[in-house]
Amino acid sequence: MSRIGKLPIEIPSGVEVNVSPTNLVTVKGKLGELTQQMRDGISLEMVDGKVELKRATEEKTHKAMHGLYRSLIANMVKGVSEGYKVEQELVGVGYRAANTGQMLELTLGYSHNISLELPNEVKVVTLTERGKNPTITMTSHDKQLLGQVAAKIRSLRPPEPYKGKGIKFVGEQLRRKAGKSAGK
Protein backbone atom coordinates (compact mmCIF):
# COMPACT_ATOMS: atom_id res chain seq x y z
CA MET A 1 0.00 0.00 0.00
CA SER A 2 1.27 3.46 -0.86
CA ARG A 3 2.27 5.35 2.27
CA ILE A 4 1.24 8.67 0.75
CA GLY A 5 -1.82 7.38 -1.13
CA LYS A 6 -3.47 5.73 1.88
CA LEU A 7 -3.48 8.92 3.99
CA PRO A 8 -6.90 10.59 4.12
CA ILE A 9 -7.22 14.24 3.09
CA GLU A 10 -8.90 16.50 5.67
CA ILE A 11 -11.49 18.80 4.09
CA PRO A 12 -11.64 22.15 5.94
CA SER A 13 -14.93 24.00 6.30
CA GLY A 14 -15.82 26.08 3.26
CA VAL A 15 -14.17 23.67 0.82
CA GLU A 16 -16.27 21.53 -1.50
CA VAL A 17 -14.92 18.47 -3.39
CA ASN A 18 -16.90 16.99 -6.32
CA VAL A 19 -16.11 14.08 -8.64
CA SER A 20 -17.79 13.77 -12.03
CA PRO A 21 -18.48 10.37 -13.65
CA THR A 22 -15.53 11.02 -16.01
CA ASN A 23 -13.11 11.16 -13.01
CA LEU A 24 -12.79 14.96 -13.09
CA VAL A 25 -12.16 16.22 -9.54
CA THR A 26 -13.32 19.79 -8.81
CA VAL A 27 -12.30 21.56 -5.59
CA LYS A 28 -14.00 24.86 -4.70
CA GLY A 29 -13.05 27.16 -1.85
CA LYS A 30 -12.92 30.79 -0.80
CA LEU A 31 -9.79 31.49 -2.91
CA GLY A 32 -10.94 29.86 -6.14
CA GLU A 33 -11.69 26.66 -7.99
CA LEU A 34 -9.31 23.98 -9.28
CA THR A 35 -9.87 20.88 -11.40
CA GLN A 36 -7.79 17.74 -11.97
CA GLN A 37 -8.49 14.90 -14.39
CA MET A 38 -7.74 11.50 -12.80
CA ARG A 39 -6.87 8.40 -14.78
CA ASP A 40 -8.96 5.24 -14.64
CA GLY A 41 -8.10 2.82 -11.84
CA ILE A 42 -8.09 5.46 -9.06
CA SER A 43 -11.35 6.22 -7.28
CA LEU A 44 -12.20 8.90 -4.74
CA GLU A 45 -14.47 8.37 -1.72
CA MET A 46 -15.86 10.87 0.80
CA VAL A 47 -15.81 9.48 4.37
CA ASP A 48 -16.70 11.64 7.43
CA GLY A 49 -15.50 14.94 5.90
CA LYS A 50 -12.33 13.29 4.60
CA VAL A 51 -11.33 12.21 1.10
CA GLU A 52 -9.78 8.78 0.60
CA LEU A 53 -8.29 7.49 -2.64
CA LYS A 54 -8.49 3.83 -3.60
CA ARG A 55 -6.77 2.01 -6.45
CA ALA A 56 -8.36 -0.75 -8.50
CA THR A 57 -5.38 -3.12 -8.79
CA GLU A 58 -1.83 -3.59 -7.57
CA GLU A 59 -0.34 -2.78 -10.98
CA LYS A 60 2.76 -0.62 -11.01
CA THR A 61 1.04 2.26 -12.82
CA HIS A 62 -1.88 2.24 -10.38
CA LYS A 63 0.52 2.25 -7.42
CA ALA A 64 2.37 5.23 -8.89
CA MET A 65 -0.82 7.17 -9.66
CA HIS A 66 -2.29 6.46 -6.19
CA GLY A 67 0.27 8.62 -4.34
CA LEU A 68 0.45 11.20 -7.12
CA TYR A 69 -3.27 11.96 -7.19
CA ARG A 70 -3.47 12.00 -3.40
CA SER A 71 -0.73 14.68 -3.34
CA LEU A 72 -2.31 16.69 -6.17
CA ILE A 73 -5.75 16.71 -4.52
CA ALA A 74 -4.25 17.60 -1.11
CA ASN A 75 -2.42 20.53 -2.75
CA MET A 76 -5.67 21.64 -4.40
CA VAL A 77 -7.55 21.55 -1.07
CA LYS A 78 -4.82 23.52 0.70
CA GLY A 79 -4.62 25.99 -2.20
CA VAL A 80 -8.30 26.91 -2.28
CA SER A 81 -8.47 27.21 1.52
CA GLU A 82 -5.12 28.82 2.49
CA GLY A 83 -3.24 29.57 -0.74
CA TYR A 84 0.46 29.41 -1.54
CA LYS A 85 3.18 32.07 -1.43
CA VAL A 86 6.62 32.23 -3.08
CA GLU A 87 9.23 34.91 -2.39
CA GLN A 88 12.20 35.53 -4.66
CA GLU A 89 15.13 37.84 -4.10
CA LEU A 90 17.20 39.68 -6.74
CA VAL A 91 20.87 39.68 -5.71
CA GLY A 92 23.13 41.95 -7.74
CA VAL A 93 24.12 45.56 -8.25
CA GLY A 94 21.46 47.39 -10.27
CA TYR A 95 18.96 44.50 -10.26
CA ARG A 96 15.43 45.85 -9.93
CA ALA A 97 11.86 44.60 -10.08
CA ALA A 98 8.65 46.58 -10.53
CA ASN A 99 5.11 45.58 -11.33
CA THR A 100 2.08 47.34 -12.73
CA GLY A 101 -0.87 45.02 -12.33
CA GLN A 102 0.04 41.65 -13.85
CA MET A 103 3.04 43.01 -15.80
CA LEU A 104 6.40 42.36 -14.10
CA GLU A 105 9.33 44.55 -15.24
CA LEU A 106 12.82 43.20 -14.39
CA THR A 107 16.22 44.86 -14.74
CA LEU A 108 18.79 42.07 -14.47
CA GLY A 109 22.01 43.48 -15.90
CA TYR A 110 21.20 42.76 -19.52
CA SER A 111 21.21 45.47 -22.19
CA HIS A 112 17.40 45.56 -22.03
CA ASN A 113 14.65 45.26 -19.44
CA ILE A 114 12.60 42.07 -19.33
CA SER A 115 8.81 42.31 -19.22
CA LEU A 116 6.69 39.32 -18.17
CA GLU A 117 2.92 39.15 -18.18
CA LEU A 118 1.83 36.89 -15.33
CA PRO A 119 -1.36 34.80 -15.35
CA ASN A 120 -4.42 36.29 -13.62
CA GLU A 121 -4.37 33.51 -10.97
CA VAL A 122 -0.96 34.73 -9.70
CA LYS A 123 -0.91 37.95 -7.66
CA VAL A 124 2.48 39.70 -7.57
CA VAL A 125 3.94 42.33 -5.24
CA THR A 126 7.43 43.80 -5.60
CA LEU A 127 9.27 45.42 -2.71
CA THR A 128 12.41 47.54 -2.94
CA GLU A 129 13.90 48.78 0.34
CA ARG A 130 17.03 50.85 0.62
CA GLY A 131 20.00 48.72 1.62
CA LYS A 132 18.20 45.43 0.93
CA ASN A 133 17.79 43.26 -2.16
CA PRO A 134 14.57 43.74 -4.17
CA THR A 135 12.02 40.98 -3.54
CA ILE A 136 9.18 39.56 -5.61
CA THR A 137 6.29 38.01 -3.65
CA MET A 138 3.78 35.90 -5.57
CA THR A 139 0.61 34.33 -4.18
CA SER A 140 -1.87 31.96 -5.79
CA HIS A 141 -4.27 29.14 -5.05
CA ASP A 142 -2.70 26.96 -7.78
CA LYS A 143 0.58 25.44 -6.56
CA GLN A 144 1.56 24.05 -9.97
CA LEU A 145 1.09 27.35 -11.78
CA LEU A 146 2.86 29.31 -9.04
CA GLY A 147 5.89 26.99 -9.17
CA GLN A 148 5.99 27.22 -12.96
CA VAL A 149 5.94 31.04 -12.92
CA ALA A 150 8.60 31.17 -10.17
CA ALA A 151 10.84 28.80 -12.16
CA LYS A 152 10.40 30.94 -15.29
CA ILE A 153 11.43 34.10 -13.41
CA ARG A 154 14.42 32.32 -11.85
CA SER A 155 15.54 31.02 -15.26
CA LEU A 156 16.00 34.60 -16.51
CA ARG A 157 19.10 34.99 -14.29
CA PRO A 158 19.88 31.87 -12.19
CA PRO A 159 22.22 32.45 -9.24
CA GLU A 160 25.87 31.93 -10.12
CA PRO A 161 28.15 30.02 -7.70
CA TYR A 162 31.00 32.55 -7.29
CA LYS A 163 29.37 35.77 -6.09
CA GLY A 164 25.80 34.51 -5.67
CA LYS A 165 24.34 37.06 -8.11
CA GLY A 166 21.01 36.25 -9.71
CA ILE A 167 17.42 35.48 -8.75
CA LYS A 168 17.08 33.12 -5.79
CA PHE A 169 14.30 32.00 -3.49
CA VAL A 170 14.24 33.66 -0.05
CA GLY A 171 15.95 31.34 2.41
CA GLU A 172 17.64 29.25 -0.29
CA GLN A 173 21.18 28.09 0.50
CA LEU A 174 23.39 28.40 -2.56
CA ARG A 175 26.40 26.20 -3.15
CA ARG A 176 29.32 28.62 -3.37
CA LYS A 177 32.68 28.00 -5.05
CA ALA A 178 36.06 29.51 -4.32
CA GLY A 179 37.58 31.63 -7.09
CA LYS A 180 40.77 31.03 -9.07
CA SER A 181 43.08 32.49 -6.45
CA ALA A 182 41.88 30.08 -3.74
CA GLY A 183 43.06 27.07 -5.72
CA LYS A 184 46.77 28.00 -5.67
Same domain for 129 and 67, yes or no, is no
Does residue 9 carry a pLDDT above 70? yes
> Average pLDDT of the chain?
92
pLDDT digits (tens, 9 = 90+) for 14-27: 999 999 988 899 99
pTM for this entry: 0.89
Does residue 1 carry a pLDDT above 70? no
Q: Supply the pLDDT for residue 105.
A: 95
Pairing label, strands 42-47, 166-169: unpaired
Same domain for 151 and 126, yes or no, is yes
Does residue 163 carry a pLDDT above 70? yes
> What's the rounded mean pLDDT across residues 53-78?
92
Q: Supply the pLDDT for residue 6.
A: 87
Same domain for 59 and 97, yes or no, is no
Same domain for 71 and 140, yes or no, is no
Same domain for 110 and 43, yes or no, is no
Domain boundary at 81, 103, 131, which?
A: 81
Same domain for 76 and 102, yes or no, is no
**Sheet with 166-169: strands ordered across:** 123-127, 135-140, 84-91, 166-169
Contact 54, 45 (CB under 8 A): yes
Same domain for 101 and 162, yes or no, is yes
Domain range enclosing 64? 9-81
Pairing label, strands 166-169, 16-19: unpaired
Q: Supply the pLDDT for residue 32.
A: 92
When divided into structural domains, the chain yields a total of 2
Does residue 48 carry a pLDDT above 90? no
Same domain for 66 and 93, yes or no, is no
Q: Supply the pLDDT for residue 30.
A: 94
Same domain for 42 and 74, yes or no, is yes
DSSP H helical ranges for 10-155: 60-81, 143-155
Whether residue 44 lies inside any domain: the answer is yes
Q: Residue 82: which region, alpha, beta or left (left: phi > 0; alpha: psi -120 to 50)?
A: alpha
- For residue 42, the domain's CATH number is 3.90.930.12
Whether residue 181 lies inside any domain: the answer is no
Whether residue 157 lies inside any domain: the answer is yes
Same domain for 90 and 131, yes or no, is yes
Does residue 183 carry a pLDDT above 70? no
Q: Which residue has the higher pLDDT, 3 or 35?
A: 35
pLDDT digits (tens, 9 = 90+) for 92-106: 999 999 999 999 999
Same domain for 71 and 35, yes or no, is yes
Reported confidence tier of residue 182, pLDDT bands at 50, 70, 90: low
Whether residue 17 lies inside any domain: the answer is yes
pLDDT digits (tens, 9 = 90+) for 104-161: 999 999 999 999 999 999 999 999 999 999 999 999 999 999 999 999 999 999 999 9
Same domain for 52 and 114, yes or no, is no
Q: Helix 143-155 crosses helix 60-81 at what angle (to 10 degrees)?
A: 90
DSSP H helical ranges for the chain: 60-81, 143-155
